[in-house]
Structure 1
Amino acid sequence: MSTSDSATPRDHSGPVLTAIAVSQLMVVLDSSVVNIALPAIRADLGFSPTGLSWVLNAYTLTFGGLLLLGGRAGDILGRRRMFLAGIHIFTLSSLLAGLAPNASVLVTARALQGIGGAIASPTALALIATNFAGPARARAIGVYGSVSGAGGVVGMILGGVLTQWTSWRWTMFVNVPIGVFVAILATRFIKPSGRATGQFDVAGALLSTAGVTALTYGLIRTPGHGWGDPQALAALAVGVVLLVGFVLIEARHSDPLMPLRLFTHRNRVSANLLLLLLGGTIFGTFFFVTQFLQNILRMDAFAAGFAFVPWGVGIFAFSQLVKPLSDRFGVKPVLIAGALSTAIATIWLSRITDHSGYWTAVFGPMALFGIGIGLQFALITRIALSDVPPQIAGATSGVLNVSQRLGASFGLAVLVAVFGSVVAGSGHNPADITHGYRVAFFVGIGYTVAALLLAVFGLTTAPKPAPRPAPDLAESPA
């Protein structure tokens, strides 16, 4: 019989949720905190202009490639065990990254961070699915959603502060005390889970990891080399072939890494597609707004990071309103309102010029993005986890994370390619560059409008409340 994590005692729900939320903040924050520090890293460790991108790419490759495996490993080997393993790997590799004496060690450490994040992130979401139910689950997902959505903004601000006032190394070291704190809370308050019965899907693990890694590599290569780059095209083709093989194997396996019955649920499929589109919107907006602030408005890294405060405030405030609003108006209307907010924000950004100012052209869209993401993220997560059997909660979480990661990589690659084609051959003056940003945002409208249409027509009824996991489903602690 499959097993699940035992129910969380009422008086321990606070520390359990704190451990989960802080771990997710650490993983999400790490995706953006390093961006601000890249110039300082290059100067200190002697990276080449092209080699510097691997400070980001090494993390992205291992994180994206191992998400499915990390999520399913929690189901089979025990969620608390794998959650702690991920936190330990992430914390130790962060220490190694901060101490890195040269470029090779830093890139290796970043790859290890990605491995830790790929284990911890889907397992953290699965722990919510199996340790909370009813209103408690809705609140927990709201906290998880606000942390996931606002973590990127916090990372940009923190990256600017640490780099300007201390050293780029502290963008890595900051994860160490956070990781130790999470490990202590998890060890003390999260109950161990039993191991699920069944065989581990080795072939599926190999194909999914290789396929997603190849696909991710192709997508992160295209911004710098174009869609016609032979290596990028080869990686994308290999990734697609491997993932098709992965699906064929999963259809025949008795205990698959990614149960295909996950995709027979209309709302769950819609939720994953929504997160795919939202990931592209978020990363594309982050990239081009940051470029506009620094290249056109001439803000330094510190000021550019703080320019995103309305985004973070909007996410935090409105993610807390998701439950009362959805209780009153229903899940679908609130999700539509969030999608409409992000669509309006993208349309607004598509009207920027080289004479635009922060308060007239950026502040409003940032606030609307915060509101829209705050309303959507928690609800999308809640819909995706609705009616999920506890024994495949990790696999469901892994798929959800992969949707967001691939959406971010693909969405950004498309927008950067569009921008590059617009500014190619231009004089690279502020007017030409801003025109390229404007066209990229105009294309980005397609992401947000597609998400709005999906929210209106793709979703059916509101998700049903999940039953609380029964204590007797858990075997002896692993």
Structure 2
Amino acid sequence: MNKQKFGMILPIILISYFMILLDNSIVFTSTVKIAADLSLSASELSWVTNAYALTFGGLLMIGGRSGDIFGRRNVFLIGLVIFSSIGSLLVGLSTNGLMIIAMRALQGIGSAILAPTTLALLMDSYRDQMRTRAIVYYGATGGLGASIGLVVGGLIASYASWRWGFLLNVPVGILMIVLTLKYIPASKKVEGKLDWLGSILSVLGITALVYGINGASHPVPMVMTGILLLVLFVWQEKVSKHPITPLKLFKDRERSSAYIARFFFLGAMISYFFLTPQAMQQVYHFTPLMAAVGFLPETLPQFVFATLVSRLNEKFTNTQILIAGTVITLAGLVFAAVVGIQAGYWWSVAIPMVIIGIGQGFTLSLLTVAGVANTDKEIAGSASGVVNMVHQIGSSVGLSIITALTANLISPVLSYDHAIIIMVVFMLISVGATLNIGLKK
């Protein structure tokens, strides 16, 4: 491979991954406008996010395994077409609540195919210290895509239509398809078959669990059904000759602790990204643009401190930086919980955001590194799938729990303040899991 092609691989991967996360975050600052345009209730509005997260998270493992079996570049291209050229276009053209929820689910299918192959392609293309540095960039891109999406969503919702946040993916996706065909070489295939039964059980189990938490008329039976299906999924992966989720991935303490930490970290952070723009608009009467700009105290520190991770590695271990990141993020949420939303933007939102931004800048990239640690090439796609699955399912389950527990509170102030307390609990669990990674050393 010549230097030009080698140098183009990382930008293609990062831009494609950035596009996935950017789109999801654009929804957050556009929620008020989307709800008004399509006459959505609070529960229906949460499903604009959950429909995407469920298909994304539920199908990630088969997406990752498909890359191993059919070739990562081939699967990567299929994911780009479904996500950007079809899904994004139809979301942007949605005319009612049912259509946007269904098309967000289709976007999630494309993302489930695309996301795990991005990380697996990165692991195939780089080795040793360069691989670690590339994964740090990948993790930082995840955080920045979520944060910058809030700002972009606010700008688009204020000066144009929220629809353009999705329609812009179409030309970007076409460009990525062309560049992929030109610069990313075809990857070797691994012998094996897809575990379709395991895939079906995982999707149905995760969907039933989240629907039971947020939206089912009989939540307890639905949650129990979801748990039962997920237990059957684990059993199927144990006996299958070609599991989509090799259970040996969870035998390594560093990886399994990173999955737990990521699950609860994203459960807290995506809920924060989803609810804070709404609180700024409902409590402070900000416009979508003001709410977007109001997120800069989180976005800018996150970018700065994410870029410092590689330099800090010269003095500290990944685990030490990771623990510091989750603790700092926890401190930001605790500050917000103690102050309360009625203390005003600067005390209630801006200062906590600065702290949270610093913590998130340290955390996300290193959780990615820990999540794919000690894996061999044959299961790289599966390991990548688990990292992204935990990211999406943690986001969906966390948001569903918080929405369900705060939906009946009488005011936006009480709802937000109670939600922050639940986020603190999630982050405490994440801190505990990162400390468990440290016990390995």
Normalising by structure 1, what TM-score? 0.86
User: What is the aligned counterpart of 1:139 among 133, 148, 156?
Assistant: 133
- Is 1:251 equivalent to 2:238 in the alignment? yes
List aligned pairs for 1:23-172, cutoff 5 A. Answer: 23-45=16-38, 51-91=44-84, 92-172=86-166
Secondary structure of 1:329's aligned partner: coil
| Shift in Å, 1:334 | 0.8
Alignment correspondent of 2:321: 334
List aligned pairs for 1:407-422, cutoff 5 A. Answer: 407-420=394-407
Alignment correspondent of 2:417: 438
- How many pairs align? 440
Secondary structure of 2:338's aligned partner: coil
Letter in 2 for 1:119: I
Alignment correspondent of 2:336: 349
Check whether the contact 2:341–2:349 (CA below 8 A) recurs between aligned residues.
Answer: no
Check whether the contact 1:31–1:152 (CA below 8 A) recurs between aligned residues.
Answer: yes
- Is 1:455 equivalent to 2:434 in the alignment? yes
- String of CA shifts for 1:430-477, please: whole Å, max 9, x gaps: xxx434433332332222222223222343456xxxxxxxxxxxxxxx
Coordinate RMSD, CA, aligned: 2.2
| Shift in Å, 1:213 | 2.6
Alignment correspondent of 1:218: 212
| Shift in Å, 1:276 | 0.7
Check whether the contact 1:16–1:185 (CA below 8 A) recurs between aligned residues.
Answer: no
Check whether the contact 1:69–1:209 (CA below 8 A) recurs between aligned residues.
Answer: no
Letter in 1 for 2:134: A
User: What is the aligned counterpart of 1:174 among 156, 160, 168?
Assistant: 168
Alignment correspondent of 1:272: 259
Secondary structure of 2:65's aligned partner: helix
**Cα distance, 1:451–1:245 mapped onto 2, change above 3 Å:** same
Check whether the contact 2:341–2:416 (CA below 8 A) recurs between aligned residues.
Answer: no
Query: Bigger CA drift: 128-137 or 116-125?
Result: 128-137
| Shift in Å, 1:102 | 4.8
**Cα distance, 1:446–1:36 mapped onto 2, change above 3 Å:** closer
Letter in 2 for 1:329: F
Secondary structure of 2:314's aligned partner: helix
List aligned pairs for 1:276-287, cutoff 5 A. Answer: 276-287=263-274
| Shift in Å, 1:173 | 0.6
Letter in 2 for 1:451: S
Secondary structure of 1:168's aligned partner: coil
Query: Bigger CA drift: 405-414 or 382-391?
Result: 405-414
Alignment correspondent of 1:18: 11
Check whether the contact 2:94–2:100 (CA below 8 A) recurs between aligned residues.
Answer: yes
- String of CA shifts for 1:151-190, please: whole Å, max 9, x gaps: 1221121112112212222121111122112212211111
Letter in 1 for 2:23: D
Distance 2:221 2:348 in 1: 40
Pick the structure with greater CA Rg. 1
Check whether the contact 2:406–2:415 (CA below 8 A) recurs between aligned residues.
Answer: yes
Letter in 2 for 1:116: G
User: What is the aligned counterpart of 1:397 among 377, 380, 384?
Assistant: 384
| Shift in Å, 1:356 | 1.3
Letter in 2 for 1:311: E
Distance 1:326 1:304 in 2: 35
Letter in 2 for 1:441: I
Letter in 1 for 2:19: M
Secondary structure of 1:258's aligned partner: coil
Identity among equivalent positions (%) equals: 35
- String of CA shifts for 1:166-221, please: whole Å, max 9, x gaps: 22221211111221122122111111112211232222222222222322333443
Alignment correspondent of 1:184: 178
Distance 1:217 1:16 in 2: 38
Letter in 2 for 1:157: V
Distance 1:49 1:348 in 2: 27
Letter in 1 for 2:17: Q
Check whether the contact 1:270–1:458 (CA below 8 A) recurs between aligned residues.
Answer: yes
Distance 1:448 1:50 in 2: 24
Check whether the contact 2:198–2:244 (CA below 8 A) recurs between aligned residues.
Answer: yes
Check whether the contact 2:208–2:223 (CA below 8 A) recurs between aligned residues.
Answer: yes
| Shift in Å, 1:61 | 2.7
Secondary structure of 1:151's aligned partner: helix
Distance 1:318 1:284 in 2: 22
Check whether the contact 2:330–2:428 (CA below 8 A) recurs between aligned residues.
Answer: yes
Check whether the contact 2:322–2:362 (CA below 8 A) recurs between aligned residues.
Answer: yes
Letter in 2 for 1:35: F
User: What is the aligned counterpart of 2:374 among 380, 383, 387?
Assistant: 387
Alignment correspondent of 1:474: none
Distance 2:104 2:32 in 1: 17
Distance 1:172 1:141 in 2: 27
User: What is the aligned counterpart of 1:206 among 197, 200, 205?
Assistant: 200
Structure 1 segments of 4 or more deviating over 6 A?
A: none
- String of CA shifts for 1:362-403, please: whole Å, max 9, x gaps: 212111111111111111111111221111111111111221
Distance 1:49 1:41 in 2: 11
Query: Bigger CA drift: 406-415 or 300-309?
Result: 406-415
**Cα distance, 1:292–1:54 mapped onto 2, change above 3 Å:** closer
Distance 2:252 2:230 in 1: 21
Check whether the contact 2:208–2:225 (CA below 8 A) recurs between aligned residues.
Answer: yes
Distance 1:51 1:288 in 2: 15
Distance 2:323 2:49 in 1: 33
Distance 2:264 2:244 in 1: 24
Alignment correspondent of 1:3: none
| Shift in Å, 1:42 | 4.5
Letter in 2 for 1:448: M
Runs of 5+ unmatched residues, structure 2 = none
